[in-house]
Chains A and B, each alone.
Chain A
Amino acid sequence: MEYLTHHLLETSASTDPSKEALVHGERRLSYEELDTLTTRLANALIDAGLQRMDRVGIYLEKCVEQVIAMLAVSKAGGVFVPINHLLFPDQVDHILRDCRPQALVTSGARLESIKGILRNNADLGAVFTTTASDVSLEGKLVLDGETILARGAADPPRSRVISHDLAAILYTSGSTGRPKGVMLSHANLIAGSRIVSTYLKINSEDRIVSIVPFSFDYGLNQLLTGLEHGATVVLLNFRFPNDVVQCLIDERITGLAGVPSFWSLLAQPSSSLHRHEFPRLRYITNTGGAMPQPVLAKLRESLPDTDVILMYGLTEAFRSTYLPPEELDRRPTSMGRAIPDTEIYVLNEHGKPCAPGEPGELVHRGPTVSLGYWGNTEATNRVLRPNPMSPPELRDTEKVCYSGDLVTMDEDGFLYFQGRRDSAIKSAGYRISATEIESVLVAIDGVREAAAIGVPDEVLGQSIVGIVVPHDGETLEIDEILTSCAEKMPRYMMPKHVEIVADLPKTAHGKIDYQSLRSRVNSGGNPSDES
C-alpha cells in the first residue's frame, strides 16, 4: 500500500525495475537505480543525525540529485524543503531561519555562495554536497554526496512516519510579509498525485518533461504523477525555446507543463515549435496564471493533436481545478472546474454561495488542503477555516482553504478568474508579496519609503513597478536602484520600472494606499509603458 511519498517510487521500482525513471542530459537512471540511490542517501541522513520530522533543505538547480534528495528525506522520515535555485542568499537565509533544517543538500558552488549564512545557523547539523567542495563549517558535517551515493548502505531504513505526517514544506508568498512555508502531508502529496494523474491519464508509456521547479507545487506534483505510474521524467534546464523543442523531439516527450510566460516564449512567431510535428506529445498543461488567448491559439495551431489542459491551483491547497480539453473550444477563458474528489465553492463576503456570474472567493475542499503555514498559526487560521457549508455537527471536522482568489462560476459549474482579493503580485507564475520587494528598496541608501505594485504585462501576467521616495535633500538614480535590486533578489522579483516620487498616497490609517497607487500608475500619471 502506498501511503508515504517514496512508496510511489518503491512500487514502480518493484513492478518494473529496469524501466527508465529519470533522465537529465546524459544521465539516465532506472527505477531500481533511483530507488537504491535514494535508500543510500536516506541512510546517510539518518547516520548524520536526522530525526523523524526533521527538515532538510534542498537548494539545487534541476538535477537527478534533487529528486534523489527529496525521496531520500521521505524515506528517512524527514520533511523535504525544496528551495528555488533562483533565490539569493538573503531569501535562502529567510527560509533556513524559518524552518530550521537539520540538514541541507546543495552543490559545491552553491555552498560557497551561502556559507556565510550557514555559519550562524545553529540548527543545521550536516551539509551534503553533490559536487566536491572544500568549504568547511565549524561544528557541522560537510559530506560528499557522491561518495554516499556510490557506496552507502542499501537496506531501506525502518519506516518512522504515517501518511498524516508532514512530508514537505513549500515556500510561497502572500500579499504581505516574507514567504511562508506551506506544510504538505504525505497524504496531501499522494492524493494530489492520484487525482492529477487520473485526469491527465498518466501511464507507464508517458515521458514527461519537467521544467517547472520542484519548489512549486505544480512541479512537484508532475514528478510524483510520473513516479506513481512508472513513467519517465526528463529534467530540463533551458535557456532558449529551441532547447525545449529539441528535447520534445529527442526524448519523445508525451507531456509538457508550463506557466504562461513559458508558453509565450515557446509560441513566439520565430519559434521552431511551428516548424516541427509532435505526434507523441499527448498533452500540455498550464497553471500559474491565465494563458494569454493569442498564445493559446498559436499553440493549438502548432500542436493540433495535443490536448491543452488549463489548470489552477494554489500551494495552500496543492491543486484545485482543471478544464477538460473537450471544453476548451466552448470556454477558452475558463480555469475549469474542481479536480476529482474535490469541491470548489464560490462564496460571497457573507460566506454564502454566489449566484452564477456573481464574483466571490474560491474556497477549496478536499484531500489536498494543506496543513497550513509552518510556524504561523494566525496566518493559517485566516486561510484554513471550518467548512461553512457543512451541517453544524460536522463543521469542525475538517478545514477548507480560502484561496483569496476572486472568481465567478457559470451555470455549468465552470470557473473564471477575476482577480486577487489582496494586493499579491503574480508574475511569471510566481506569487510575490509587495513587502519582499519594498524591504529591498528601503534598504537602499537615500530611500525613505518604498512601495511595489503589479501592473498588467502581456508576457508575465503582471510586471512589477517599484515606487521610491527619497530622503529630504537626497537624489536617487533609477539605474542605481535597479542595480541594488539586482544584487539582492532573483530576476522574477525585480521591478521592471522604478519611479521616483515625492510622497506615497496613504490610507486613513497611515498605510500605503495601493489602490490609489495602482490607478495613478495605470492612468499614466507616470510613464509606465516602456522604458
Chain B
Amino acid sequence: MSETANKIRKFVIGRFPLAQRGGLDDAQNLLQSGIVDSLGILELVNYLAEEFDIVVSDDELLPENFSSIRSLAGFVERKGQPTGATD
C-alpha cells in the first residue's frame, strides 16, 4: 500500500501542485477542492496505465476511486495483480 501511495503522491504533487497547500494528506479530496479537473483525471488515468499497467475503464472513473491519494492507491491495489510481461 505505502509504496503505491508514495508513487501516486509524488505524481500528484508534481502535476497538481495545489494539492500540497497545507500539507498533502492522503485522504484529502482532490476533486472537491478543484485540484484535479476533468483533464487532470485524464492525466491520472494515463499515469496509472504507464506506471502500474492498469487500464481504467469508464465505469471505474468514479469519485470513490479517484477522490484522494488513498482511494487511488486502494483502486490500484485492487486492480493490479502483478501481471508482468505477457509475451
Contacts and interface: CB of A to CB of B under 8 A. Distances in A.
A200 interface: no
A466 to B, nearest CB: 13
Interface in A476-498: 479, 482-483, 485-487, 491-492
Contact of B42 (A275, A459, A491): A459
B5 interface: no
A486 B55 CA distance: 29
Given A428-B39, A459-B42, A482-B14, A239 B31 contact: yes
A262 B20 CA distance: 27
B42 A264 contact: yes
Interface string B13-34: 1111110110000000001000
Nearest to A244: B38
B59 to A, nearest CB: 7
A487 B18 contact: yes
B61 A479 contact: no
Interface string B43-71: 00100000000011111011100100000
A212 B17 CA distance: 25
Contacts of B37: 86, 239, 491
A245 B16 CA distance: 26
Interface residues of A, number: 30
Given A479-B13, A482-B17, A486-B17, A272 B59 contact: yes
A271 interface: yes
A268 B20 CA distance: 29
A242 B61 CA distance: 7
Given A479-B14, A482-B17, A242 B58 contact: yes
Residue from B31, B38, B40, B55 having most chain A Cβ neighbours under 10 A = B38
Contacts of A245: 58
Interface in A112-147: none
Given A428-B39, A459-B39, A483 B17 contact: yes
Residue from A262, A271, A272, A491 having most chain B Cβ neighbours under 10 A = A491
Given A483-B17, A487-B21, A270 B39 contact: no
Interface string A64-88: 0000000000000000000000100
A521 to B, nearest CB: 19
B58 A270 contact: yes
A265 B42 contact: yes
Nearest to B36: A239
Contacts of A479: 13-14, 17
Contacts of B21: 487
A261 B59 CA distance: 20
A241 interface: yes
Contacts of B39: 261, 265, 428, 459-460, 491-492
Nearest to B21: A487
Interface size class of B (residues with CB under 8 A): 20 to 34
Contacts of B16: 486
Contact of B38 (A239, A483, A486): A239
A336 to B, nearest CB: 26
A483 B20 contact: yes
A486 B14 contact: no
A531 interface: yes
A265 B58 contact: no
Contacts of A241: 38, 58, 61
Nearest to B58: A272
Contacts of A272: 57-59
Contact of B14 (A273, A485, A531): A531
A479 B41 CA distance: 20
A86 B36 CA distance: 12
A86 to B, nearest CB: 8
Contacts of B20: 483
A516 B53 CA distance: 38
A270 B41 contact: no
A491 B19 CA distance: 12
Nearest to A482: B17
Contacts of A86: 37
Interface string A235-262: 0001111100100000000000000011
Nearest to B62: A240
A265 B40 CA distance: 10
Interface in A265-280: 265, 268-273, 275
A369 B79 CA distance: 53
Nearest to B61: A240
Contacts of B38: 238-241, 262, 265
Nearest to B50: A530
Interface of A: 86, 238-242, 245, 261-262, 264-265, 268-273, 275, 428, 459-460, 479, 482-483, 485-487, 491-492, 531
List the 10 closest A-B pairs by CB distance, nearest first: A486-B17, A272-B58, A483-B17, A240-B61, A270-B57, A486-B18, A482-B17, A242-B58, A271-B58, A270-B58
15 contacts: A239-B41, A239-B63, A240-B41, A240-B61, A242-B58, A265-B42, A268-B45, A270-B45, A270-B61, A271-B58, A459-B39, A483-B18, A483-B20, A491-B37, A531-B15
Given A239-B41, A269-B55, 16 more contacts: A238-B38, A239-B31, A239-B38, A240-B62, A241-B58, A242-B58, A242-B61, A245-B58, A265-B39, A273-B58, A460-B39, A479-B14, A487-B21, A491-B39, A492-B39, A531-B15
Interface of B: 13-18, 20-21, 31, 37-42, 45, 55-59, 61-63, 66
